[in-house]
Amino acid sequence: MHYAEKTGKIAKFFESKTISLMPNKVVVVGSYNTDMTIKASRIPRSGETILGGKFAIGAGGKGANQAVAAARAGARVWLVARIGNDAFGAEALRCIQHERINIDYMRRDPEAPTGVACIVVDDAGENSIVVASGANACLQPEDISAAEEIIAHADVLLLQLESPLATVIAASRLAAKHGVTVVLNPAPAQLLTTNLLEHVTIISPNEVEAEMLTGVKINDKSLVAAAQRLHAQGPATVLITRGPKGVFISSAAGTHFLPAFQVAAVDTTGAGDIFNGCLAAFLTKDRSLAEAARLAAAAAAISVTRLGAQASAPALAEIEHFLHQ
């Protein structure tokens, strides 16, 4: 059977058997970057030049990555972002529209260029990334106010930290005002204040981010203590993602450990974004938090077996097939 035909049949099966016909409405406030990726045997040391291999230009940025992941997982998605009035910005609009994501609140900045990320990926799939924020740094609280109508009617607002902190806070406050679930992926890692965290429903740091936010060195025995410190600042639910060690979940229902799926990693770029985007997509009324996290972890596992950030995000049928094979 041809792959496309097989995938189509899988999609129809799961749509009829397990997938809600009412998609989650997800608003993502965040960044769009043009990713420039070089494959290399290893990541160069300071001051060192090495010869790399394959080079690729693709769509990225934590906000856009998460929006694409959510859309491919079946959610209806709006992206609130700033891009440049340049060739990369034009390509951004084309790429986001191609994913059937609403672009009504993607603004083209008249002065700042589209954000760019330079990425080196080694043979083990690990990466080193430098980001030039460009127009992402120009996303303002006024852009959030302009999007109040869609935020007010969203099921989930998804946030990261590649946008100005004042803008992220404004978005969280607006969503909380309307009773919308707020998911914060606190990346890139930075210290946060309670005037943001008090409006967050679910926070999903990785180990490095959890350590920075709590001051607790993350290991198997300290996860509960770290989660408690985060709960004390506002979030009712804490998900600490640990890569190949799985996901630790802490909520009012107690604590739960979700083991990782074992796969051969090719490129870990964007895996956390895929997890968070899919988590937002799966946080529906008819699914438990643990089930949504398991589906999101499966999507992230699939993504690391492929090159790229947005390019690696799996479709809904692929996630279900992965879990049932």
Question: Which tokens hold the place of 301?
Answer: 């596992």
Amino acid at 222: S
Burial class (CB in 10 A: 0-12, 13-18, 19+), 91: middle
How far apart are alpha carbons 133 and 109 in whole angstroms? Answer: 13
Which residue, 153, 220, 218, 223, is CA-closest to 181?
153
> Tell me, what DSSP letter sits at residue 101?
-
Pick the catalytic residue from 86, 104, 273, 286.
273
| Local structure of residue 49 (DSSP, 8 states) | -
Structural tokens at position 123: 């043979």
Return all residues near 4 (Cβ < 8 A) that are at least 6 apart. none
In what order do the strands lie in the sheet containing 76-84? 106-109, 76-84, 25-29, 156-159, 181-184, 202-203, 237-241, 247-251, 254-258
Answer whether 141's CB lies under 8 Å from 148's CB. Answer: no
Long-range contacts of range 287-294, CB-CB < 8 Å, 24 or more positions apart?
Answer: 289/237, 289/249, 289/251, 289/253, 290/249, 290/256, 290/258, 293/239, 293/247, 293/249, 293/258, 294/258, 294/323
Q: Is 109 a catalytic residue?
A: no
**Residue positions annotated with a catalytic role:** 273
